[in-house]
Structure 1
Amino acid sequence: MQFNKDSLYANPLGEITTFKFDDAVVNVFPDMIQRSVPGYSAIISAIGLLAGRFSQSHSQCYDLGCSLGAATLAMRDQITAADCRIVAVDNSAAMVERFKRNLAVDEAKASIDIQCADIREISIERASVVVLNFTLQFVPVADRARLLEKIYRGMLPGGILILSEKLAFDNERQQALQVDMHHHFKKMQGYSELEISQKRSALENVLLAESFDVHRRRLMAAGFDSAEIWFQYFNFASMIALK
């Protein structure tokens, strides 16, 4: 499948506006995410496998911050539990509209409910699988604990939360190394120094990364039985929290 190439930050911008998941981003998002997040395809594939393992009959699986539905469709392709409904939620109207349009021509119909809403405001009910795939980092820090507590309360025993995030590191040398290697990764994907710099400025104060220790403490405080990293590529990681 061919996607539009991400060149949103290829030319000098007189004023760098705050990053938003608008129509311009939607048009290049598949290319942007693949070239910006190390290991993204592996994470998506594993989300499908984990959903197949943990989905329960007569339950719901949530993709919170679904964007164009990559994780949703990976779950759909692996879930075999009877009467298992997928709820995909995003607060970007542009993302939701494009996802619905793409799903409308998808031959493999499934029980997928796509909603345009703030994930902090929706109800989580009878959840066996919940996915926050590079979503929590865009939620205000003050609201993160309350969101995870709500998710935990709405999950069935034996449920799983898959949380993928860009990480920060307490050690200055580690932080500098991980950021530098991520930038090197992006250069290897064809991004220029200008693109990297301008996008970084656009994401400042929008994407707020935290350390794994902070994530783990918050997950355990919410009630989860355990929380561990299952995948990490430089400063991008995916965690599993079990109820």
Structure 2
Amino acid sequence: MTIETTGRAADQQTAERGTGVSAGQIAVGDDIVATDTRWSFAGDTSQHFDSHVNKSVPLYLHGHELIGKCIEFFSRPGGTVIDVGCSTGTLLASLARKPTSKDLNLVGVDIEADMVRAARGTCAQMDNVTISQGDALTTDYTDANAVIMYYTLQFCPPHQRRNVLRRVCDGLVEGGGLLLFEKVLSPDARLQDIVQQLYMEFKADNGFGAEEIYNKSRSLRSVMAPQPSEETHRLLREVGFTSVVTIQKYLSFEGILAIK
């Protein structure tokens, strides 16, 4: 059977070739090209990631600052802080520059080899930072004073999240902390609709075009699965965290501190 290409589809293919976007790929802004419904942090994404995420996630750098202050409550001499999903290493570098971090072992872990290379470049001059390739489910958290998961758990398949959080909690020292930042769902449909529309306006105000906003959302369909805030809090308590509190919130983006 022969399927004819319509004029509209042909025009789209021509436009894609003109912008360097090949068939099956979509432009999501900041010169980042994603595979349709299959967002990836691999390839050239690391080169533009910091600029892109700063405009995509509300209070992104404020979150870095807040984590830097929170880590001080867990900064024991010779202690270990693990950043799971460290991406380009920007957060780790900011932690390493703090005077209160000079006696800490800062460990970055990322599943993507390209991000690991980028993070090693970012932290190349910092003696107390180690970057390795790995994932949240197999990382060794034994005797860690604090663990950071900065918009990381949302990319973990839902059926694995309990095991990841339990592994983190089991590994932390008594009184250790988890700093978990996530995109979350609202408790009902009306609120979700309002919050989602406000978030789309946030991205538009930061310079993303309507097509780029749609393409980014489409690229994440099979990759990211947000869950309600209440579900995350419940899971944290069920796996052994005794204190759980929201420390940052803007629309659907939430930062949580959980203490063992």
Q: TM-score, normalised by structure 1?
A: 0.90
Is the counterpart of residue 169 in structure 1 residue 186 in structure 2?
A: yes
Is the counterpart of residue 25 in structure 1 residue 49 in structure 2?
A: no
Is the counterpart of residue 94 in structure 1 residue 111 in structure 2?
A: no
2:196 corresponding residue in structure 1: 179
Give the letter for the 1:20 counterpart.
Answer: S
Deviates more, 1:33-42 or 1:20-29: 20-29
1:73 corresponding residue in structure 2: 93
- 3-state SS, counterpart of residue 30 of structure 1: helix
Cα RMSD of the aligned pairs, angstroms, is 1.7
Give the letter for the 1:53 counterpart.
Answer: F
Give the letter for the 2:147 counterpart.
Answer: V
Structure 1 gap ranges (5+): none
Deviates more, 1:219-228 or 1:67-76: 67-76
Deviation at 1:59, TM superposition (A): 1.9
Q: Is the 8 A contact 2:109 2:133 kept in 1?
A: yes
2: distance between equivalents of 1:118 and 1:101? 20
Structure 2 gap ranges (5+): 1-28
2: distance between equivalents of 1:241 and 1:75? 19
1: distance between equivalents of 2:52 and 2:255? 19
- 3-state SS, counterpart of residue 100 of structure 2: coil
Deviation at 1:77, TM superposition (A): 2.6
- 3-state SS, counterpart of residue 118 of structure 1: coil
Is the counterpart of residue 8 in structure 1 residue 32 in structure 2?
A: yes
Q: Is the 8 A contact 2:85 2:149 kept in 1?
A: yes
2: distance between equivalents of 1:176 and 1:113? 42
Runs of 4+, deviation exceeding 4 Å = none
Q: Is the 8 A contact 1:178 1:234 kept in 2?
A: yes
Q: Is the 8 A contact 1:49 1:78 kept in 2?
A: no
1:215 corresponding residue in structure 2: 232
1: distance between equivalents of 2:170 and 2:121? 32
Q: TM-score, normalised by structure 2?
A: 0.85
- Within 5 A, what are the aligned runs for 1:1-243? 6-8=30-32, 16-78=36-98, 80=100, 83-104=103-124, 106=125, 109-243=126-260
Deviation at 1:83, TM superposition (A): 4.0
Q: Which has the larger radius of gyration?
A: 2
Q: Deviations over 1:18-72 (max 9, x none)?
A: 1000122111101111010000010011111111222222321000000011221
Deviation at 1:82, TM superposition (A): 6.8
Give the letter for the 2:96 counterpart.
Answer: R
Deviation at 1:79, TM superposition (A): 5.8
The number of residue pairs the alignment matches comes to 232
2: distance between equivalents of 1:142 and 1:79? 39
Q: Is the 8 A contact 1:226 1:241 kept in 2?
A: yes
Q: Deviations over 1:147-196 (max 9, x none)?
A: 11111111112211100000111310110111111110000000000000
Distance 1:78 1:225, change over 3 A: farther
2: distance between equivalents of 1:81 and 1:38? 26
